């Protein structure tokens, strides 16, 4: 159970920031300028639903405008409050700097349980919330570009984009006002899976470095590693699916709101998710053991723990009992400041949220660029690429025939070599490159400085350094 001594989510983020800033040589006042949240707009609006006016409270927080537009998701949950939105906005600033997406940090939230409203009602509520934010340029292609977060997805982003277009009928860049839209409404291939895919690429990169694995006491590759995932929503589902289907990981437990499923042989994630979609939870799933109390399952022995649900789940109340040697923070802020200290002392390696879940904002950046350039990635070069590859294959086959060499190229090689990169392939390549490059920037700091104990401080040092550089070049 969470103890009362625990700082709030925003305080926790600030304390983590301070740990890193202390090790940096920032000019007086700059540290505070970077840390504080620039502004938070609170709106209370009414929507006529079920015969009466329902009042909703929403927030849009702008943490840092050192680069514009600012970027960050919109969360729908009853637990949304100002402190949380500001913490998440701050993490967006650091995340964008770490993965070099040219944005400042922002975040939004609406206090609502989306499961209590039907689709039409949710559309009315979303459009009204969007209207309030658009009116104040808190949704705008050049100033503030939201994206999905907990409780929202493609559908909500499509409504927001349409609302913006209705209110800005001559803005040719209207579609770039929000990312995470469905592909038919200006979205990009690979955005829905992007955050989970990024978690997979982050782990692959971690496992390329024996020295880093040794810090967690891990050996070998991802194949056969026992994984526990909390939250089988957008991020957790995709991460668990890709790691189990493509990298040979065994997902031995999945934790959801209504308990956990356990299977030491590894769960079939697609099957579990289908069950969840049909039944609204994990209970009753026939092919694994179900326990009603999910939280203690975080403490089960495993190789990799992936909290992918919400903040504060690993806290002073359970950190001591966590047995995973490696934690990948797929959710934002799942480990509190106090828990982080305990885990570090125990030798647990944490791949921090600002890096681990940056796949979403990375692909959002690609979507925004696509919207501004008004053309699908790969449209110009794909067939030209294929034609060049074909030339090479035909020339090799001609040479082989002419010289009687008897070479034949394997059919699957030919097929793969002759397929030009479409949008999805380019998005995955860009995401992979981003996750590798950002990891290397972090580990360089981690390994080159005696005073840097962990990846989180390293990540903060890289991002704060980049934000500071932008401020300096602005003359601040």
Residues that bind ligand NAD (CB under 6 A): 148-151, 195, 230-236, 255-257, 294, 308-310, 330-332, 357, 360
List, edge to edge, every strand of the sheet that includes 349-351: 289-291, 259-262, 250-256, 226-230, 304-307, 326-328, 349-351
Closest distance to ligand NAD from the beta carbon of 173 (Å): 22
* Residue at shortest CB range from ligand NAD: 233
Closest distance to ligand NAD from the beta carbon of 255 (Å): 5
Residue 21 or 260: which CB sits closer to ligand NAD? 260
Residue 230 or 244: which CB sits closer to ligand NAD? 230
Closest distance to ligand NAD from the beta carbon of 89 (Å): 11
Closest distance to ligand NAD from the beta carbon of 429 (Å): 19
Pairing relation of β-strands 304-307 and 326-328?
A: parallel
Q: Is 135 a catalytic residue?
A: no
Closest distance to ligand NAD from the beta carbon of 117 (Å): 15
Residue 195 or 200: which CB sits closer to ligand NAD? 195
Closest distance to ligand NAD from the beta carbon of 295 (Å): 7
Closest distance to ligand NAD from the beta carbon of 174 (Å): 22
Residue 203 or 452: which CB sits closer to ligand NAD? 203
Closest distance to ligand NAD from the beta carbon of 86 (Å): 14
Rounded Cα gap, residues 203 and 188, in angstroms? 24
Sign of the Cα pseudo-torsion (6, 8, 13, 18, in order): negative
Residue 193 or 423: which CB sits closer to ligand NAD? 193
Rounded Cα gap, residues 82 and 68, in angstroms? 22
- Full 3-state SS string of 355-422: HHCCHHHHHHHHHHHHHHHCCCCCCCCHHHHHHHHHHHHHHHHHHHHHCCCCCCCCHHHHHHHHCCCC
Residue 191 or 382: which CB sits closer to ligand NAD? 191
Residue 99 or 218: which CB sits closer to ligand NAD? 99
Write down the catalytic residue from 22, 52, 95, 107.
107
Closest distance to ligand NAD from the beta carbon of 195 (Å): 4
Rounded Cα gap, residues 122 and 139, in angstroms? 18
Residue 21 or 148: which CB sits closer to ligand NAD? 148
Residue 93 or 468: which CB sits closer to ligand NAD? 93
Would you name the residues annotated as active-site residues? 107
């Amino acid at each position: 159970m969470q103890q009362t001594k625990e700082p709030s989510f925003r305080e926790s983020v600030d304390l983590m920031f301070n740990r890193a800033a202390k090790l940096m040589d920032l000019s007086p006042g700059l540290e505070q300028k970077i840390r504080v949240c620039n502004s938070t707009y609170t709106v209370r609006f009414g929507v006529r639903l079920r015969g009466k006016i329902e009042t909703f409270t929403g927030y849009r927080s702008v943490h840092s405008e050192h680069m514009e537009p600012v970027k960050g998701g919109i969360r729908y949950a009853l637990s949304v409050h100002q402190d949380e939105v500001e913490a998440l906005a701050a993490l967006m600033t650091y995340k964008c700097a770490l993965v070099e997406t040219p944005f400042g940090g922002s975040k939004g939230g609406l206090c609502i349980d989306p499961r209590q409203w039907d689709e039409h009602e949710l559309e009315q509520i979303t459009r009204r919330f969007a209207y309030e934010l658009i009116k104040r340029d808190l949704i705008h292609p050049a100033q503030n570009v939201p994206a999905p977060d907990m409780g929202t997805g493609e559908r909500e982003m499509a409504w927001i984009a349409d609302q913006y277009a209705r209110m800005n009928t001559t803005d040719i860049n209207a579609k770039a006002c929000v990312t995470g839209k469905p592909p038919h409404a200006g979205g990009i291939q690979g955005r829905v899976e992007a955050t989970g895919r990024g978690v997979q690429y982050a782990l692959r990169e971690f496992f390329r470095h024996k020295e880093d694995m040794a810090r967690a006491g891990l050996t070998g590759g991802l194949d056969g590693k026992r994984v526990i995932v909390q939250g089988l929503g957008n991020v957790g589902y995709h991460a668990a699916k890709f790691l189990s289907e493509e990298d040979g990981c065994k997902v031995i437990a999945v934790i959801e709101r209504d308990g956990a499923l356990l299977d030491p042989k590894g769960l079939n994630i697609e099957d579990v998710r289908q069950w969840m979609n049909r039944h609204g939870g994990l209970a009753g799933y026939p092919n694994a053991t179900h326990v009603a109390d999910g939280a203690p399952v975080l403490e089960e022995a495993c190789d990799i723990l992936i909290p992918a649900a919400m903040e504060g789940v690993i806290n002073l109340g359970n950190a001591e009992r966590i047995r995973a040697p490696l934690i990948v923070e797929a959710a934002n802020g799942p480990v509190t400041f106090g828990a982080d200290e305990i885990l570090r002392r125990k030798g647990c390696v944490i791949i921090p949220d600002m890096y681990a879940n940056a796949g979403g904002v990375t692909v959002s950046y690609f979507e925004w660029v696509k919207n501004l350039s008004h053309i699908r990635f790969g449209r110009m070069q794909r067939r030209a690429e294929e034609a060049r590859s074909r030339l090479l294959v035909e020339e090799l086959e001609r040479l082989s025939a002419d010289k009687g060499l008897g070479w034949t190229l394997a059919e699957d090689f030919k097929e793969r070599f002759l397929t030009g990169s479409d949008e999805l392939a380019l998005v995955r390549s860009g995401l992979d490159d981003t996750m590798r490059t950002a990891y290397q920037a972090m580990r360089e700091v981690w390994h080159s400085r005696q005073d840097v104990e962990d990846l989180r401080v390293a990540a903060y040092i890289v991002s704060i350094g980049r934000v500071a550089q932008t401020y300096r070049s602005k003359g601040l």
